[in-house]
Amino acid sequence: MDTRHLLRISATAFVAVGLLISGCSSGSPSSEASASHSASGAGSMAVDPAALKKYYGQKLAWRACGVAGFQCATMKAPLDYAKPNGTQINLAVARKKATGPGKRIGSLLVNPGGPGGSAVGYLQGYAGIGYPAPVRARYDMVAVDPRGVARSSPVECLSGKEMDAYTQVDQTPDDKAETDRLATSFKQFAQGCERRSGAILPHVSTVDAARDMDILRGVLGDKKLSYVGASYGTFLGSTYAELYPKRTGRLVLDGAMDPSLPARTLNRDQTAGFETAFRSFATDCVKQADCPLGTESAAEVSTRMKAFFKTLDAKPVPTGESRELGESLATTGVIAAMYDESAWPQLRGALTSAMDGDGAGLLALADSYYERESNGSYANLMFANSAVNCLDLPPAFANAAEVTAAAPSFEKASPVFGRGLAWASLNCAYWPTKATGAPHRIEAKGAAPIVVVGTTRDPATPYKWAQSLARQLSSGTLLTYDGDGHTAYGRGSDCIDTAINTYLLEGTPPKDGKKCS
């Protein structure tokens, strides 16, 4: 298992999210960009607007790419914003122009979260064709893969075979030997990242990505940035608002993170979120004829799930390939299905097969979570995820002894997942680059109204995070979805979709505290 506060939309069903830019006049660097900010700590670095003019003034060479109607380009950005005249990096950008009818509002960027999710892939696979037609009619749909991600100078760490071994390491160690083996796997992962991507590792923070977004805003000719970000994308969006409040347009932050929390609290809160989601699954499972974990009560389902994980820890089951299904991969497979309730039938079937000695179904769910291809290669999702998370916040734990001491609180938060998620939080302890960020409140004073969306039984971004962020933001308004799954926009609630569409198209936010189901 390896979740490491991986905050993204479902691996089983890409759903709503995006970034949006509105306005018509061109943007350029100003005193706002050079001011001292506290965003993630790294934002305190002063940036010389004069030195950035060449980036804001660049022209993108668009070319046809992907399916019909999409265009791609490469944008330049400084590797180190403290040295804008130094090394440059390439960022992949894609768009699908507004279709009409109606007057074009501006550019709509999309980002599926992560950190590590490919925004370009998300645009071409869903947002550019699946967003509500009125929104696509009036916005150019645009995406940029954040630095370190996918097509934008990607962070690389391990080979496919090395990742296979890494994902199978026991993350519920029972003795010193297993604890040492787990710590060694984290060290080897970090060393692989430093060896393959050492030059970019210090420069993939969320602050850096937010500054890249402002360059793109200027290059596209938009006066203000309006943004719909999902999951981790909400942290990216709120960071942008903190850095550039006067350039902030219509922001929708769906499945919100709470930037005021330290890494240990974030990880423990997310652990509780997965427990909430699993209880919801368990309550539904007992009503189904094919539930393999019992038919009497949700508590019975939880007890049997935990017992099955323990069985796999002692004796993995075959999968039809060289990899066996042990506790770590099985837990990741179950967690993957918590992101979207539409995956629950698949999970029931996979669990039934695994309990009968065939782990292929749960392995497939785990592979979808890790973005592992059938040829054994991996996307760079997990590499970028660790690189950004370990730079944005100091590590949750400094050593194994701290995990051991804190594990009971994680197990209290989730009897099913707690122990494993506590140990998974150790990874940043061995990271080669010191964190530049720190937990802090984001107020974004002076920003236009910002809509924060929270789902009551969200597994990855607990509802209380949305409540907290909405309170922190000086112009925040909370929109609540009473339901299951990760994020809310585009997941079947007409109430949510109408409220957000109205805001994006007309600029009118929903009433603070509005609830939908």
Q: Which residues are catalytic?
A: 231, 458, 486
- Rounded (10°) CA dihedral 64, 66, 71, 73: -90
Identity (one letter) of the amino acid at 379?
A
Work out the angle between the directed axes of helices 360-370 and 327-338 (0-180°, nearest 10): 70
Other residues' Cβ atoms within 10 Å of the Cβ of residue 386: 25
For residue 49, say if its preceding peptide bond is cis, omega within 30 degrees of 0: no
The DSSP code for 259 is T
The pairing of strands 450-457 and 476-484 is parallel
CB 16 within 8 A of CB 26: no
Q: Which residues contact residue 177 at a Cβ distance below 8 angstroms, ignoring those fewer than 6 apart?
A: none
Give the SS3 label for residue 485. Answer: coil
- Spatial separation of the C-alpha atoms in residues 41 and 392, rounded to whole Å: 8
DSSP string, 378-413: B-SHHHHHHHHHHHHS--S-SSHHHHHHHHHHHHHH
Whole-angstrom Cα distance, residue 247 to residue 224? 4
3-class DSSP string for 186-201: HHHHHHHHHHHHCCCH
CB count, 10 Å around CB of 107? 25
Pairing between β-strand 88-96 and β-strand 476-484 as defined by DSSP bridges: unpaired
Signed CA dihedral, 482, 486, 491, 495: sign only? positive
Provide DSSP, 233-289: HHHHHHHHHHH-GGGEEEEEEES---TTS-HHHHHHHHHHHHHHHHHHHHHHHTTST
- φ, ψ for residue 214, nearest 5 deg: -70, -35
